[in-house]
Each structure stands twice: as C-alpha cells, then as structure tokens.
Amino acid sequence: MIIIAHAPHPVAHGMLAANLARTAMTEGSCVRFDYDGKSRLVEVHAIGLGRKNNYLLRGVQVGGEASRPLPQWTLFDLSKVEAMFIADHIPSGAPRAGYSMGDKQMSPVLTEIQS
C-alpha cells in the first residue's frame, strides 16, 4: 500500500496523487483519500491538468462522506487530496454509464479510462 500524505509543493503533491490514481485506474481498483475534510472512495475515470496547471481527477465517488447521494460524478483538485491510497480490495466499476472521453475541464487529459 502506498500512502500520500503531503508533499512540499502543491504541484508535486498533485503529481504524486495523479500517479497513484493512474495506477489504481490501470489495476481496476478504487482510490480512497481525504478531501475537504471528508473521506472519499472514488472510481478514477480521467486524470489531467486544469487551467491553473493543477492536476485534476474526474471520478465517481462511490463511498465515504458526501453532501449529495452516492454515487456521484466529481472533479477533484489533486493538490487538495490528503492520505490517498489504492483500495485494491475494492474493484472499480469504471467506466460508468454517462462517461464521455475528452473531459472539457482538463487540457490536456493525461490519461482516461477506455469506454
């Protein structure tokens, strides 16, 4: 198990989280992390860069704490992720119905699940 707690710089932190999320997506596993003070369990669908050159993750939150009913599509800024790890005992259901490749919030999309 690899855990990302904090990196010294937000871009470096986002890159580490993006690499871990990419591994989970490739292995067909979910990722678990803390975001905005809440624990999340997420199926990774796409990883890319945002307008501020920050790493982003598009995924479906399937577990953990949420303000809306689950499952729900969410865009996460990976510089804000804490304590990320691959939940290799929880298989991902990606790709989910409703996913379309080429996320418009990312430029470029670095990697995404094949639908």
pLDDT in tens, 26-42: 999 999 999 999 999 99
pLDDT recorded at residue 2: 47
pLDDT recorded at residue 9: 46
CATH 2.30.30 fits 10-101, yes or no: yes
- pLDDT of residue 3 exceeding 60, the answer is no
Helix, strand, coil % over all residues of the chain, rounded to 5: 20, 45, 40
pTM for the full predicted model: 0.88
- pLDDT of residue 64 exceeding 60, the answer is yes
Cα distance between the two ends of the chain: 27
pLDDT recorded at residue 98: 86
Q: Which residue, 40, 96, 85, is CA-closest to 65?
A: 40
C-alpha distance from residue 83 to each of 58, 60, 69, 71 (Å):
18, 18, 23, 21
Domain spans in the chain, listed from the N-terminal domain onward: 10-101
